Chain A
Amino acid sequence: MTADTASSLLQTPLHALHQEAGARMVPFAGYAMPLQYPLGLLKEHLHTRKAAGLFDVSHMGQIAVRPRSGDLADAARALETVLPIDVVGLKPGRQRYGFLTTQGGGILDDLMIANLGDHYLLVVNAANKAAGLVHLLDAIGTPCSVEPIDRALIALQGPGAEGALARHLPAAAEMRFMDARPIAFADGEGLIVRAGYTGEDGFEIALPAEAALALARALLADPEVKPIGLGARDSLRLEAGLCLHGSDIDLETSPVEAGLSWAIPTVRRRGGDREGGFPGAERILAELADGPARLRVGLRPEGRTPVRAGAPLYPAGDAAEPAGRVTSGGFGPSLDGPIAMGVLPSALAVPGTQVFAEVRGQRLPCAVVPLPFRPAGFKRS
């Protein structure tokens, strides 16, 4: 990276820490972000699965949605006009997964939404935060105030996360998966949620810049905790079968095609009390009722060759036309082999089906497999 490039990039509150740790910084969604540290992607990945990994995800967008009436139910109803999920039923202190849909039934962005008692907090993807903010202001800016919050976000993930975090924030140990608790720091308000993007138990902590730097340094003083870059973040989420917006889900792919129907509850489907009423409802509700034409699948290439995003998928080794394509792919360090996700016609999207990915002119056999590739370690109770 040249100095000129670096100077035009935004820096997160943990920038100095990344530099001290010897991170290789790359531009990502307008920010200078750590791709990997001297430990290296492979060991960073495995360390997170075995102990605890600290991720700087401050580039992600945090948006507070407050009801102008003062009644949170008004904000919930407004949010249900942009999200096909159950916001009304989301209890205080709880978070859930959702997505902003397009008029065509695609996905503008996927996000986490937490009920914080008097307002909702949305955490959106870095690359989509401007688009998401505009969309929210347009759609619900009258009944709600929609304000980005400029503060850090760090994630601590892995089986050692609870022990490491509870030493500094004891409340962490009392939380279960998808709990969200406000917490006060010396320089402002913050939030702990028990969730993440790795398939491991873990936490995400939203907090002011100075507190973030202090907490990150304190956590990294623990030998169980290592800093983890975006490279391992991607291989961890791929093993966990989690979607990356822009790759596995996008403006064209519907949540049903993406295998995210579980996030759309009965109450928002046909015949439900709060049926539809979100962008793209016609397509999405029809796909929920009748089944989608194509579906996201897990893929295990039979050999050692990694199969990467964009590779066409053929129904047979000698088929003339591809039936689908790989949307994310690479090497799964915890599986010690290549893994991928892709989209296939529903008839082929059945575990056990063999398809062929084309890599450098060769048709490589891949098995359609269930997702995730490895079981999640969430603390559900």
Chain B
Amino acid sequence: MLKYTDEHEWLRLEGDVATVGITDHAAEQLGDLVFVELPKVGATLAKGAAAAVVESVKAASDVYAPVDGEVTEINDAAVSSPESVGTDPQGAGWLYRVRLSDPSQLDGLMDEAAYRAFVG
């Protein structure tokens, strides 16, 4: 199941663990990425709080946690090759995996069609 937030993140749910990244639309808007900072494995995320940071040459942008939960895995390749987050944000450029503490939080998120309509 693929979900999107209005903060331009995507979540792919497998069981109770969601893989999270930024959308291709967000990556295009941010431009070339030069630095990625991810949460630590085991960190507790609160929905709406800054969980990661992606930085272009010009600016730093927070990536907000789309749900509450515990970080189970991070994508080291995104840190070592920040450009991969820009070029393949919904594939190799995923950011982290989180075990959801409240799966009902997914209900408020958009599906693919709704997100495409949202970004116009």
Contacts and interface: CB of A to CB of B under 8 A. Distances in A.
A306 B31 contact: no
B55 interface: yes
Contact of A231 (B31, B34, B55, B60): B31
B115 interface: no
Contact of A330 (B31, B37, B53, B58): B58
Given A40-B31, A331-B34, A308 B57 contact: no
A58 interface: no
Interface of B: 31-32, 34-35, 37, 53, 55-60
B32 A308 contact: no
Contacts, number: 43
Contacts of A330: 57-58
Interface string A356-373: 000010000000000000
Nearest to B53: A360
A306 B59 CA distance: 9
A305 B56 CA distance: 11
A45 B31 CA distance: 13
Contact of B60 (A36, A234, A308): A308
A42 B34 CA distance: 9
22 contacts: A41-B31, A41-B32, A42-B31, A42-B32, A42-B34, A45-B57, A231-B31, A232-B57, A235-B57, A235-B58, A304-B35, A305-B55, A306-B60, A308-B59, A308-B60, A330-B58, A331-B35, A331-B55, A331-B56, A331-B57, A333-B57, A338-B35
Interface of B is mostly: strand
Contacts of B34: 42, 306, 331, 333
A328 to B, nearest CB: 11
Contacts of B56: 41, 331
B32 A306 contact: no
Contacts of B53: 360
Interface string A273-317: 000000000000000000000000000000011101000000000
Contacts of B60: 306, 308
A339 B37 CA distance: 17
B57 A42 contact: yes
Interface string A59-83: 0000000000000000000000000
A305 B58 contact: no
A360 B55 CA distance: 13
A301 to B, nearest CB: 10
A158 to B, nearest CB: 18
Given A36-B31, A231-B31, A360-B53, A41 B37 contact: no
Contacts of A232: 57
Contacts of A306: 34-35, 55, 60
Nearest to A308: B60
A305 B57 contact: no
